[in-house]
Amino acid sequence: MSLRSYIVTRVLLTIPMVMLLLTIVFFILRVVPGDPALLHFEKNVDPDVLMVFKERLGLARDGVDIPIWEQYFSYLGGLLTGDFGLSMHDFSPVSEHIAGRFPATLELTIYSMLFAVLLGVALGVKASKNYDTTTDHGIRLFGIITYAIPVFFLGMILQFVFGIWLRILPVNGRFDPHYATPTNITGMYTIDSLLTGNISAFFVSASYMILPAATLGTILCGVFVRLTRTNMLETLRMDFVVAAEARGLSESAVVYGYALKNAFLPIMTMIGLQFATLLAGAVLTETTFNWLGLGTYLIDRINYRDYTGIQGTVVFFGILVSLVTLVMDILYAYLDPRIRL
């Protein structure tokens, strides 16, 4: 199968998967809890007030509830134009809320993934080079512990150690309130400060990034430790690696130039698969560090009983994960033509 045919096939398979996700989320938030508009109010509400509320949200028309199937197709039509509906809290567009909060989550996700991959791969390579030694056993134990520890608990430990005890890093927020935030270009403070040449703002924003990214990245690095170690052990025993060693190449050239390069394809695939886990962990991480991204926005929507806001955020997360998985599959097929067979 050619790469073009493979891409077309994967795109066609992604579409029904996304449609199934949209359908499940839509009907669960409307059928399982009951009438979402009615549940938005904590106490009994006047029927006329409730009907006006529904009409503003597009759930009713001329004093009559719109059939759920019509709401469903109307919602799908809105998604095609980037319309995620109106918030039940203040009738503002949910898409604007998502656009305002997503850069913070994306910034945290990027740095957390970099931290997880760099630390996990480095420790995995170290463990494979020292197979069945104290170093190997220690690294494997570290990978198990980091994967099992709750992300919010690790975050609180790091806050206590580096923020309260050592007083060297901030423990919440994205930027020092005493400084002006960087000019908004991408919404990611570290990137915006570099684009505008504001080096001092970069270091301030980076200092606020360290603890959340280290928390989320540490939780994920255990997966990459085990995966890298396993693939490196297999690769180091292959004939081409033995031949490279026999030619007198240095250990670093053999390990990093030959073995790691060939063992990296499964790791790259895992990066895409862990993206969903990263977004789920971001909800707890953002809450722990008061990081104003989509995670804290979702918690706020739950507290406000804002079902349209919850629906929009979950759907956005789902579409994002599907697209990232699609890109990783295509990239993997490009690098390893055997996948397309």
Between the alpha carbon of residue 330 and those of residues 14, 227, 268, 288, the distances in Å are 12, 21, 12, 35
The CB-side HSE value for 323 (13 A sphere, CA atoms) comes to 6
What is the distance between the alpha carbons of residues 105 and 92, in angstroms, rounded to a whole number?
A: 21
Token digits of residue 221? 């690095």
Q: Is 180 exposed, middle or buried (0-12, 13-18, 19+ CB in 10 A)?
A: exposed
With a cut of 80, say whether residue 333 has pLDDT above it: no
Q: What is the pLDDT of residue 34?
A: 66
**Of 35-44, 72-81, 286-295, 324-333, which range is least confident?**
35-44
Alpha-carbon dihedral sign for residues 95, 98, 100, 102: negative
Q: 263-285, pLDDT tens digit by residue?
A: 777 787 777 777 766 776 678 88
Token digits of residue 180? 């002006």
What three-state secondary structure class fits 188?
coil
Residues 55-64, mean pLDDT to the nearest whole number: 82
Following DSSP, what letter does each residue of 273-304 receive, concatenated?
A: HHHHHHHHHHHHHHHHHT-TTHHHHHHHHHHT
Nearest Cα residue to 336 out of 261, 276, 273: 261
109 close to 282: Cβ distance less than 8 angstroms: yes
pTM: 0.86
Confidence of residue 103 (pLDDT cuts 50, 70, 90): very high
Residues 211-226, mean pLDDT to the nearest whole number: 91
What is the distance between the alpha carbons of residues 166 and 174, in angstroms, rounded to a whole number?
A: 20
> What DSSP character marks residue 93?
B
The end-to-end CA distance of the chain, in Å, is 6
Confidence of residue 25 (pLDDT cuts 50, 70, 90): confident
255 close to 316: Cβ distance less than 8 angstroms: no
**Amino acid at the residue 207:** S
Residues 226-238, mean pLDDT to the nearest whole number: 86
Q: What is the pLDDT of residue 338?
A: 65
Reported CATH class of domain 94-293: mainly alpha
Nearest Cα residue to 172 out of 137, 196, 207: 207
Which residue reads 């080079």 in tokens?
129
37 close to 47: Cβ distance less than 8 angstroms: no
Token digits of residue 301? 């929507």
Q: 277-328, pLDDT tens digit by residue?
A: 677 667 888 989 999 899 899 888 888 888 889 889 989 988 888 888 888 8
Q: What is the pLDDT of residue 62?
A: 80
Query: In whole numbers, what is the pLDDT of the chain averaged over residues?
Result: 85
Residues 199-208, mean pLDDT to the nearest whole number: 93
With a cut of 90, say whether residue 191 has pLDDT above it: yes
